[in-house]
Copies of this chain bind each other. A is one copy, B any other.
């Protein structure tokens, strides 16, 4: 077997180990008995350590070197695969083993303590542990940066979104930041002028919500022979290759959380289910990064399914399933409910318009934290100032403030911006799909996602990691990542004359 073929074999093994970890992780968050927690952590750590050993072995380095010398004789996809192998190797070997271990332990300790600190709204209780995590993440950023020729923050960002850089994000977010206050004020004015939304009174039985969720999954094209829908406290899309498992949570007083959540996670799942099958166990088949991944959840949830056309299709389905009727259940009122804007403290509960404010806040803070321009002790003050400035809210406590998200406490710096970058990419892709498939919007209005999924399969999912995010977007939408269409989408949906009457 030549060097490249041996590498494929080696990375297929890593893929299988990653898949094993994916199922164990899903199980941990959905159905695992509580007493199994310690052993499960042990199992996951063992899989991670073995994978790291295989990936960073001297033999891997030698094989990569040999294969790269003969790279011109490889097919294009193999060359891309080899590039991704090298990328994984560089990220993994950039960190000295003791830093890998220290980082993992500090993040675990902080994450566990964070659950209690959040419940108690007690930031000082977590601050020393978070400071340790930050110190190690800054070290990791510096070490990875040295290997990749990047600044520390860019090096961390590159782990979530290959090729993305802080300078790019600064530019993309500058326009958003400039436009945001006026946009929000205008949206709230408009909304106020229309008067209150009629309430949708529960209860909405979990079984009915689940049945509708499964129907929606089938509608958007989720392949139920290669995935599942289950329940977890924090909804996610996980599992393994050919076994993509999404979760949601059910609130019997409010069905919209579960249903829109299912559509959001289905978007992630469709990306995973649509990865190129010929190279399924190879790095080149993996989804490109978190920006594109989030674009796939948001193109379904936000672009397509909160649009007037789909909500109009959804309305009679909901009336029938829940056995309700009357003005509150007309499409117009449901559409208003699904596009209601209201500044709030919690990111994961935020509407489409205020969501980016939560990201701008976190992005500004985490870049400063990694650069060393902000200290952990400054977090609550900076957070509360930012919330006041961006959304006009006085944060009453740290549970509703800087303790709400797990990310930093689990050692994730560089992840937050991908949510809003994904929203931008979703707007670009949805516009391009609509232009390329003229019947797409009408089809969505009939609950038919075939044209949309067909376009995404070809232009996004089937690309795996062949291209960078910008290359993929340029091929698919004739432009690299850009926020213009996203801001246009917000104005169109929330401020155009049609926003009030439907279109």
Contacts and interface: CB of A to CB of B under 8 A. Distances in A.
A228 B42 contact: no
A242 interface: yes
Given A13-B46, A228-B31, A240 B36 contact: yes
B243 A32 contact: yes
Residues of A in contact with B, size category: 35 or more
A119 interface: no
Contact of A39 (B34, B228, B242): B242
A342 B45 CA distance: 51
A107 B240 CA distance: 25
A245 to B, nearest CB: 9
Nearest to A28: B23
B43 A16 contact: yes
Contact of A46 (B20, B36, B40): B20
A46 B12 CA distance: 9
A274 to B, nearest CB: 14
Consensus secondary structure, chain A interface: helix
A195 B220 CA distance: 61
Nearest to A45: B16
Contact of A226 (B23, B35, B227): B35
A237 interface: no
A225 interface: yes
A142 interface: no
26 contacts: A13-B46, A13-B50, A16-B39, A16-B46, A17-B43, A17-B50, A20-B24, A23-B23, A23-B24, A23-B27, A24-B24, A27-B27, A31-B228, A32-B243, A33-B224, A33-B228, A33-B243, A36-B240, A36-B242, A38-B242, A39-B240, A39-B241, A39-B242, A40-B243, A42-B281, A43-B240
